[in-house]
Amino acid sequence: MTKRILVYRSINEDQLARLERDFHVDYLPEVASAEDPAFLDALANAHGLVGASLPITPALLDRAPHLEAIASISVGYDNYPVDELTRRGILLCNTPDVLTETTADTGFLLIMCAARRAIELAGMVQRGEWRESIGKELFGTDVHGKTLGMVGFGRIGAAIARRGALGFGMRVLYSNASPKPELEAELGARHRELDELLTEADIVCVTVPLNADTHHLIGAREFALMKPSAIFVNVARGKVVDETALIEALRAGKPHAAGLDVFEREPLPETSPLPHMPNVVALPHIGSATHETRTAMADRAVANILAALNGERPPSPVNELELKSS
């Protein structure tokens, strides 16, 4: 019997053809919700899943009795119940490395836009309101030479810090579960406990993965520790930050400004005040969203699912070791 793969995110023709060589593919790139009847029908017969953004719950797994492997088109895997997948013998794969530099570019874009008020001032020009040289009430703040505090110092955090240290002459501090001596040597980065980092940094940039330990890692207490002039940037996951506390902190002017690519609810609800706050730059979760990188991520996901369903070792397994020991 030919195994079936359900693809629920857009991939290109070449990627689709690679999957179709050995497998039957149910291609549903427009699925917006796990309630979609076509999605549920295909799920019932799927041996493999390729997609992103849809939370895959244990209840959904109950409807997928043949499922062997999932290849997420993302590096983050907070949309998947990893322990539950392992318990059911289902392999989960992700797409590390290929999106590191693009997501770091997004991080730096947010740092620059928030510090230099680029979106706010571009809006002024667009509305035809630029009638004279701007006064100091619209000046931004320098990025070069400042202290960059990285909350999380994995691949993406390190790539942002590299841009700061080597391109902008920034001093780099980091808080991370484990020390990173090689990055300390390369970038002159210094380890700090989170509270110390928050009090010392001019720019605080969050890149930790979302898990039980990092849920609401940054809240009212943490914002209170920051400098009044601090710029706060989040390219990790929205739920790492207590968004209600962030809104209150921004209204109170501390942090001074924020650059956000991720939110507690995505798409951001219409009622959210964040996009309307002049000191906030809000992007629609575009960390990895370039043609080159999204193609590379889908390529990796295709390679992952093909290997997994053919009984080979996939390039980027998440729970391989846990599966072996379970």
Whether residue 237 lies in the annotated active site: yes
Minimal distance, residue 105 CB to ligand DGY, in Å: 13
- Catalytic-role residue among 163, 256, 285, 300: 285
Q: Does 287 bind ligand DGY (CB under 6 A)?
A: yes
Query: Cα(161)–Cα(189) distance, rounded to whole angstroms?
Result: 8
Whether residue 266 lies in the annotated active site: yes
Burial (0-12, 13-18, 19+ Cβ within 10 Å), 36:
middle
Q: Does 69 bind ligand DGY (CB under 6 A)?
A: no
Q: Write out the two tokens for 218.
A: 């940054």
Give the residue with the Cβ less far from ligand DGY, 121 or 296.
296
Give residues 33-52 in contact with ligand DGY (rule: CB under 6 A): 52
The single residue listed with the structure tokens 């997609």 is 51
By CB under 6 A, name the one of 75, 111, 151, 197 that touches ligand DGY.
75
Span near ligand DGY by CB under 6 A; candidates 27-35, 55-63, 72-80, 317-325: 72-80
Q: Does 76 bind ligand DGY (CB under 6 A)?
A: yes
Q: Does 157 bind ligand DGY (CB under 6 A)?
A: no
Query: Cα(21)–Cα(56) distance, rounded to whole angstroms?
Result: 26
Question: C-alpha distances in angstroms, 250 versus 124, 223, 290?
Answer: 21, 9, 30
Sheet holding 257-260: strands in order across? 190-191, 171-175, 147-151, 203-206, 231-234, 257-260, 280-282
Contact predicate 38/325, CB 8 Å: no
Q: Does 175 bind ligand DGY (CB under 6 A)?
A: no
Minimal distance, residue 251 CB to ligand DGY, in Å: 27
Q: Does 238 bind ligand DGY (CB under 6 A)?
A: no
Minimal distance, residue 213 CB to ligand DGY, in Å: 18
